[in-house]
Amino acid sequence: MKLQAFLGAAAVAVTLLGTTALTLPAFAASVPDGTKLAADQTFNYRVLDNINSLDPDIVEDVDTSYVVGNLFEGLYNEDAKGSPVPGAAESYDVNKDNTVFTFHLRKGAVWSNGDPVKASDFVFSWRRVVDPKTASNYSYFPGLVGVKNADDIVAGKMPPDQLGVKAIDDNTLEVDLNKSVPYFVRSTAHATLFPIPQAVVEKFGNDWTKPENIVGNGAYVLAENKPGERVTIKRNPKYWDNAKTVLETINFLTINDENQGVTRYLSGEVDQTDVPAGQYPQMKQQYPNEAHSVPQLCTYYFDINMTDKQTVPALKDVKVREAISMAIDRDVIVNNVLQGGQIPAYFFTPPATADFKAPDVEMAKMSQADRDAKAKQLLADAGYGPDKPISFTYIYNTSEAHKKIATVVSQMLKEKLGIQMTLQDMEFATLLDKRHQRDFEVARDAWCGDYNEASTFEGLMDSTSSQNNSGYANADVDKWLKESATSEDPNQQYLQIETQVAKDIPIIPIYFYTKVFLQKPTVGGWPYDNVEQVWYGKDLYKTEG
Amino acid sequence: MILFVLKRLAIAIPTLLVLIILSFVLMKVAPGNPFTGEKNLPRDVLNNIYARYGLDKPLWQQLLEYIWNIVAHFDFGPSFKYKDRSVNEIIAQGFPVTLTYGFWAFIVAAGIGISMGVIAAVKQNSWADYLAVGVTIGGQVIPNFVLAPILVLIFTLWLHWLPGGGWNDGKWNYVVMPVIALSATYLANIARITRSSMLEVLHSNFIRTARAKGLPGWKVVTKHALKPALLPVVSYLGPVFVGMITGSVVIDLYFSTGGIGQWFVNSALNRDYSTMLGVTILLGALTIAGNLVVDVLYAWIDPKIRY
């Protein structure tokens, strides 16, 4: 699982404003007038797995980032639509090139032990993230968003104190970037760039995140941490915006099984839970005010091995790949198998991505009957048919939904094209390893945007990307990607890339994700419009129901 | 007897060592590693992580250091996945949970199972016998992964008596369903074994003699028949006890108790080497200890057994 990040190109406005200091209104629970608040302000949130760490520098999965995002606060937060709003910083200045950001920290903001939050706490945390000794999975993040020298420090070529961040004084933090990053402010809402209390971390070492030691600057403080069962956090009376906080307690309850999650939702033990694949229509009918389906920045797709390790010669023929893609009826998968409002995908980047103009792909406009006819034609053109049948193996990780999709696709290919697709399921770690080694013919894959901007998807098509599992290599695509980084309107390049990928078919996009969940109508303030589903307890409230 | 116990202990240590080495090697052979995720990490980042956890050292060195840390410091190392806790902490937190519901499940299974078996045998072909046989068959054919959702359906969703999961520091209402779900099958097995063994004993000559001497029925059962009848039950109870206190993967996952079974499965799937090894060693040690206790008990109950 990946950590949702928060960059984006939408900060074009920021660029235009140049060096003007920005002060945006802070966001907190805004309870509509006349709302009757519940006496018990406890929010019970289901998490899939154990919370992996409460150290912001270490956090690596989505659920954990929600816990940490409530215990700590970055320079900026996200509002209900995903735009940046001031958090630990009140405002910032930026130079013309978007390479130097100066943040003005909120005066009077304190840690939960009463110590002031200082610029040096940010410096300490950021240096610690990139320090090879910390060995954080996310140590690449500061480099990704352009913080000067970050990559060299991770590689051990420079000491951590050379990182492009410094405390001008207790309330002023200056960040130097090695490239122009207009949306840098958004990235400060990412857990990896949160501050940590230097004095506490130095005193307790690795034990600083234990309930008895941990100190944060967020709206909540840790009350209990029972790994595998629950994490409980309570309102922080020392938080600067505490007056506007409504929720008193948040319980993060670990429930591994989705169906059990629904059971515990129905019994009132959790206020929100995911809907298992295929159950959305029934839930929507039974609980029309509680079942939700909102777009998510993720794409489900098949990788076709494009390297020399591909053992099925037919798959090296682009006509065959196109025939397979054409014959897969996405509507059936979305409407009959998943039934959660997912969107059929004919290109890679989700249309919900900020500022992304969806490409006009020919295939999307055809009827399935036309696609099927074309698929047969393509296969015949490629010289395959009943007397020269194609068979390949499709690998996926064990899961009910993946299995259903695989089964349906194999039937479609068998019936329409006579292609024999053998299914092979395996545990997740094995699939990852096989994909990484390119030891497959066709494999299941999925990607969720690291941030709300198309480059987090397009970047995967780079021949050198470590995420390019199909092994696709196209010199033009690489060139366009380079150009897009400095382009006035990167959508131009994105369109070229998407069109080229749709032509070469190293991947077969299947659908764009939605987050399908049940939520009690008593939960107020939920950020449904935030495509990354980033939420803060301080923005929520419970009504009488 | 003491010599026997010592001998068994001496065998236990190499057994555990073999278990550690085998698990260690199997784990390393399994594809993937704790740091593979949907996102492939850059080389430099991975190198730092490998160095931090000593995975850059040769395999034999990793194994030796691992064993040395256990022997010298009783330290099972840091978890590779849950990074701000050590395996010792994970076990210290998860094992008491499992121990609690496992212990109660054992009491329930053994207590009710043996009583039911004895009554069914003594009152053979009565309604009590038929009831016991019915319950036994029911308990045996319904596995716990079916029973658990049924219990939740009845007690949580229909009656609203019990919470559907969680642990809440072992508050009684959180413990009830895990105990029932875990004990049912064992209870049925114990009742069945007790009944058939009791029937066999009740038809043996020494019981006939006791009855002929004019002893009252209940005395014949409790004083003479029970002890020999329990022999096969005891040999069954040993592994059952260990199995129960070390938790059930199904129960832990379904009821989200935070018990050791949950860690066992998740650490294997996550390739969290250190946690998986730690839990395996714990379960291995308990199994060996459990079997030892059974052997000793056997010698005590059955005078025919000598060591």
Q: What is the pLDDT of residues A512-537, one digit of tens each?
A: 999 999 999 999 999 998 888 899 99
> Is B266–A266 a contact, with Cβ atoms under 8 angstroms apart?
no
Residues of B in contact with A132 (CB under 8 A): 48, 51
Reduced to 3 states (helix: H, G, I; strand: E, B; else coil), residue A112 is: coil
> Is B258–A228 a contact, with Cβ atoms under 8 angstroms apart?
yes
Q: Measure in Å the smallest separation between the Cα of A373 and chain B Cα atoms.
A: 36
Residues of A in contact with B36 (CB under 8 A): 429, 432-433, 436
Report d(CA A424, CA A445) in Å as an integer: 14
For the ranges A27-41, A206-220, A367-381, the lowest mean pLDDT is seen at A27-41
- The pair of structure tokens assigned to A336 is 């009959």
B157 touches chain A (CB under 8 A): yes
pLDDT over 90, % of chain B: 39
B35 touches chain A (CB under 8 A): yes
Report d(CA A371, CA A324) in Å as an integer: 10
Average pLDDT for residues B193-219, to the nearest whole number?
Answer: 88
Closest CA to A423 of A448, A399, A446, A387: A399
Q: Measure in Å the smallest separation between the Cα of A97 and chain B Cα atoms.
A: 28
> Is A52–B94 a contact, with Cβ atoms under 8 angstroms apart?
no
Distances (CA, A) of A536 to A45, A74, A114, B259: 12, 12, 22, 29
> Whose structure tokens read 């289901």?
A46
Q: Measure in Å the smallest separation between the Cα of B67 and chain A Cα atoms.
A: 23
pLDDT band at B247 (very low <50, low <70, confident <90, very high): low
User: What pLDDT score was predicted for residue A1?
Assistant: 36
> Cβ(A253)–Cβ(A224) under 8 Å?
no
Report d(CA A229, CA B262) in Å as an integer: 10
Average pLDDT for residues A260-275, to the nearest whole number?
Answer: 94
Residues of A in contact with B48 (CB under 8 A): 132-135, 139, 154, 156
Q: How many residues does chain A have?
A: 545
Q: Are strands A89-94 and A84-86 parallel, antiparallel or unpaired?
A: unpaired
Q: Measure in Å the smallest separation between the Cα of B58 and chain A Cα atoms.
A: 19
Distances (CA, A) of A4 to A97, A297, B166, B245: 26, 10, 27, 39
Report d(CA B266, CA A52) in Å as an integer: 12
Smallest Cβ distance to B42: which of A134, A140, A156? A140
B152 touches chain A (CB under 8 A): yes
Torsion, Cα of A167, A173, A179, A181 (10° steps): 170
Reduced to 3 states (helix: H, G, I; strand: E, B; else coil), residue A308 is: coil
For the ranges A42-51, A101-110, A126-135, A241-250, the lowest mean pLDDT is seen at A42-51
Q: What is the pLDDT of residues A3-12, one digit of tens each?
A: 333 333 333 3
> Is B253–A256 a contact, with Cβ atoms under 8 angstroms apart?
yes
B49 touches chain A (CB under 8 A): yes
User: What pLDDT score was predicted for residue A24?
Assistant: 41
> Is A60–B164 a contact, with Cβ atoms under 8 angstroms apart?
no
> Cβ(A132)–Cβ(A163) under 8 Å?
no
- Of all residues in chain A, the one with the smallest CA distance to B84 is A53
Q: Give A241's DSSP letter.
A: T
Report d(CA A465, CA B74) in Å as an integer: 43
- The pair of structure tokens assigned to A356 is 């992304």
> Is B83–A132 a contact, with Cβ atoms under 8 angstroms apart?
no
> Is A436–B36 a contact, with Cβ atoms under 8 angstroms apart?
yes
> Is A430–B31 a contact, with Cβ atoms under 8 angstroms apart?
yes
Q: What is the CA radius of gyration of chain B?
A: 24
Closest CA to A390 of A420, A359, A427, A366: A420
Q: Measure in Å the smallest separation between the Cα of B272 and chain A Cα atoms.
A: 11
B82 touches chain A (CB under 8 A): yes
B40 touches chain A (CB under 8 A): yes
For the ranges A23-27, A282-286, B91-95, B252-256, the lowest mean pLDDT is seen at A23-27
A177 CB-side CA count, 13 A:
22
- The pair of structure tokens assigned to B272 is 């969290």
Average pLDDT for residues A456-484, to the nearest whole number?
Answer: 92
Report d(CA A420, CA A413) in Å as an integer: 7
- The pair of structure tokens assigned to B235 is 């040999």
User: What pLDDT score was predicted for residue B307?
Assistant: 57
Reduced to 3 states (helix: H, G, I; strand: E, B; else coil), residue A227 is: coil
Alpha helices per DSSP H over A134-220: 141-144, 150-154, 184-187, 198-204
Residues of B in contact with A467 (CB under 8 A): 39-40
Average pLDDT for residues A31-36, to the nearest whole number?
Answer: 85
Residues of A in contact with B52 (CB under 8 A): 133-135
- Of all residues in chain A, the one with the smallest CA distance to B266 is A49
User: What pLDDT score was predicted for residue A470?
Assistant: 96
DSSP line for A24-42: -------PPTT--B-S--E
First to last CA, chain A: 34
Q: What is the pLDDT of residues A125-165, one digit of tens each?
A: 999 999 999 999 899 999 988 899 999 999 999 999 999 99
- The pair of structure tokens assigned to B252 is 């832990």
B216 touches chain A (CB under 8 A): no
Distances (CA, A) of A97 to A18, A94, B155, B237: 8, 8, 64, 74
Residues of A in contact with B263 (CB under 8 A): 228
Q: Measure in Å the smallest separation between the Cα of B146 and chain A Cα atoms.
A: 13
> Is A228–B257 a contact, with Cβ atoms under 8 angstroms apart?
yes
Amino acid type, A8? G
pLDDT over 70, % of chain B: 98
Spell out the residues 6+ positions from residue B102 whose beta carbon is closer than 8 angstroms to its own.
Answer: B182, B244, B245, B246, B247
- CB burial class (10 A; 0-12, 13-18, 19+) of residue B125? exposed
Q: Is the pTM of this model over 0.95?
A: no
b vs e for B243-282, b when ≥16 Cβ sit within 10 Å of the residue's Cβ? bbbbbbbbbbbbbbbbbbbbbbbbbbbbbbbbbbbbbbbb
CA A245 to the chain's CA centroid:
26
Closest CA to B201 of B294, B193, B113: B193
Closest CA to A180 of A99, A257, A112: A99
> Whose structure tokens read 């397009």?
A458
Spell out the residues 6+ positions from residue A285 whose beta carbon is closer than 8 angstroms to its own.
Answer: none
Spell out the residues 6+ positions from residue B80 whose beta carbon is closer than 8 angstroms to its own.
Answer: B34, B35, B53, B270, B271, B272, B273, B274, B275
Average pLDDT for residues A80-100, to the nearest whole number?
Answer: 92
Reduced to 3 states (helix: H, G, I; strand: E, B; else coil), residue B77 is: coil
Given a cut of 90, whether residue A30 has pLDDT beyond it is: no
Q: Which of residues 225-264 of B touch A (CB under 8 A)?
A: 252-254, 256-259, 262-263
> Cβ(B289)–Cβ(B21) under 8 Å?
no
User: What pLDDT score was predicted for residue A47?
Assistant: 92
Residues of chain A by 3-state class (helix, strand, coil), percent to 5:
35, 20, 45
> Is B253–A135 a contact, with Cβ atoms under 8 angstroms apart?
no
> Is A137–B49 a contact, with Cβ atoms under 8 angstroms apart?
yes
Report d(CA A329, CA A311) in Å as an integer: 26
Q: Which of B29, B80, B85 best tests the A interface by mutation, with the highest count of A CBs <10 A?
A: B85
Q: Measure in Å the smallest separation between the Cα of B303 and chain A Cα atoms.
A: 47
Q: Are strands A249-254 and A442-448 parallel, antiparallel or unpaired?
A: unpaired
Given a cut of 80, whether residue B300 has pLDDT beyond it is: no
Spell out the residues 6+ positions from residue A144 whose beta carbon is closer than 8 angstroms to its own.
Answer: A450
Q: Which helix (H) or strand (E) holds A64?
A: helix A62-71
Average pLDDT for residues A475-503, to the nearest whole number?
Answer: 91
> Is A429–B270 a contact, with Cβ atoms under 8 angstroms apart?
yes
> Is B45–A55 a contact, with Cβ atoms under 8 angstroms apart?
no
Amino acid type, B35? F
Closest CA to A183 of A146, A132, A220, A140: A146
Reduced to 3 states (helix: H, G, I; strand: E, B; else coil), residue B150 is: helix
- CB burial class (10 A; 0-12, 13-18, 19+) of residue A223? middle
Report d(CA A485, CA B84) in Å as an integer: 37
